[in-house]
Amino acid sequence: MSWARSSTGFSLPEVLIALAVFGIASTGLLATLLLNVRSNRESNELSEATTLAQNWIEYLRAQTITDSTSTSCPSTGTPPTVPSPYGTPTCVLGAAGSPVAGTRQVTVTVSWPELYTGTRSVTLQSYVTY
């Protein structure tokens, strides 16, 4: 008695090899996707923090600095809103001996918690007139 071989369909070894190749390719693709998601989140946080620091510098430019020896930033008016997860930015005025008369260096730092690296921050420096 002879068994006739059918030429349709795939054999079990062919199916197993195809599944193994597909699994390895899917793993690599998933790792790349997760890396892209993390990178996009980090760049979005960095952009938001930089924009927040720029807004605070513009807020400080609109203030009047009355004490030329003070290192604390003026706080009149309504400061820019701070979205979560960013804390209130820190601000430091430099000494009155700036390169241009009538200006002070201002440093604004925005910090936020980062899942993998602890705390991240953005620091911007500019000059304001008084």
**In terms of pLDDT, which residue wins out, 20 or 70?**
20
Is the pLDDT at 2 greater than 60? The verdict is: no
Q: What is the DSSP string of the chain?
A: --PPPP-SS--HHHHHHHHHHHHHHHHHHHHHHHHHHHHHHHHHHHHHHHHHHHHHHHHHHTS----TT--SPP--SPPPP--TT--PPEEEE--S--SSTTEEEEEEEEEEEETTTEEEEEEEEEEEE-
In the chain, where the domains are located: 12-129
The pLDDT score that the predictor gives to residue 3 is: 61
The pLDDT score that the predictor gives to residue 50 is: 93
The pLDDT score that the predictor gives to residue 37 is: 93
**In terms of pLDDT, which residue wins out, 25 or 127?**
25
| Mean pLDDT, residues 79-84 taken together | 81
The pLDDT score that the predictor gives to residue 5 is: 63
